[in-house]
Structure 1
Amino acid sequence: MVASPLENTHRLRIGSGGVLLPRYEPRKVAEVFRVLGALHPGRVDLGIGRAGGIARDFPRRFAEVIDLLGKPYPGYIPPTVWLLGAGSGSARLAGALGTRYAFAHFLSPQLSTAVLDAFHGSRTMHARAQSALAVRVVVADTEAKARELTAGFLLWRSRKDLGHNEPFPSPATVRSHSWTAEEDARVGHSSRQLVAGTPIR
């Protein structure tokens, strides 16, 4: 998916929203992104996540990818590596290895400050520490459409929290839904974890 937008743009940075490293060999990940980096110097971001594998082996595999991506040389700028995480352990690993860090704020917003402090406090390299927050955002052409889409998310999230594994509801489903007290109780928490509105708001 990364290759197509890179081929069809000229200035935008394009990156992976999360290569789950436990599911791929480090050498293969590095090979694919080295080629992308060579074809599109300075425009490629490699986001790496840990989900779906054994935690104790991840630091070695992550370090191996970084090493295999290599150093810059004329005509080649290595992809910028981001570690995607949801806790202080991944933040400290990113800091220790000198990569950037993206925190899953949408999962645990109450931890954001502590986790980013852990990242910035563990930097061992002189490069400027860069971090990002991954947040839930709903954008539509009108405020009414944004509210409609937000209502769909809030219903889906509330039902999911209650153990219902259902597809995302249509606007018609949301309008006809009779909210239970348990679903209502979760709406306030979920609505505080997202930003909704129009592009100019």
Structure 2
Amino acid sequence: MATVSIILGKSGSGKSTSLRNLDPEQVALIQIIKKPLPFPGASKWKALVTDDHGLIIRACQKTQRKVIVIDDFQYMLANEFMRRSGERGFDKFTEIGRHTWDVFDAMLKLPDDVRVYILSHTEETEIGQIKMKTIGKMLDEKITLEGMVTIVLRSVVQDGQNFFSTRNNGSDTTKAPMGMFEDDLIDNDLAAVDAAICNYYAITQQAA
């Protein structure tokens, strides 16, 4: 079973920037929405751009790279919803939910030494909980994506600096295994997060 982590945050909170210290030659990057990465050296990155759940699954199953990053994941759901907005009835919500579940299920079934990072926006519920952005209650009633993984970090900005929150504050879905991260706030560095995960689970990282 692969280690699948969710990185949540508002737009501009540093999710995509967290890729800056990863080696682009060792990472399979999938962008749901094509956009330039926001850091120097971004031209070295080559991404597969698609919002098709089946193509995402096949690409991740085919790659030999041990780190997979899926950026702006919520748009996979939103794009399909918008394409199907003219459909009546509720079947489309069930099908979008199934497509989303299929991606997570396929990622979890990748080899044990694979690490998958799913970057997505947040939303606040009516009761004030901060969670992964989906397409509303019709989907949330069918699937809780954070419940399918062990690690959920939240990208936050404090005093103009970007961090990852590693501890649940009682009103979000942040979580991490006991002892994986010493501090409640860590640098928004996905390379450092990946190293911590590999150390925790005794996964051998690929040589740079």
- TM-score, normalization by structure 2: 0.32
Look at both structures and tell me which one has the larger radius of gyration over its CA atoms: 1
Structure number with higher helix proportion: 1
- TM-score, normalization by structure 1: 0.33
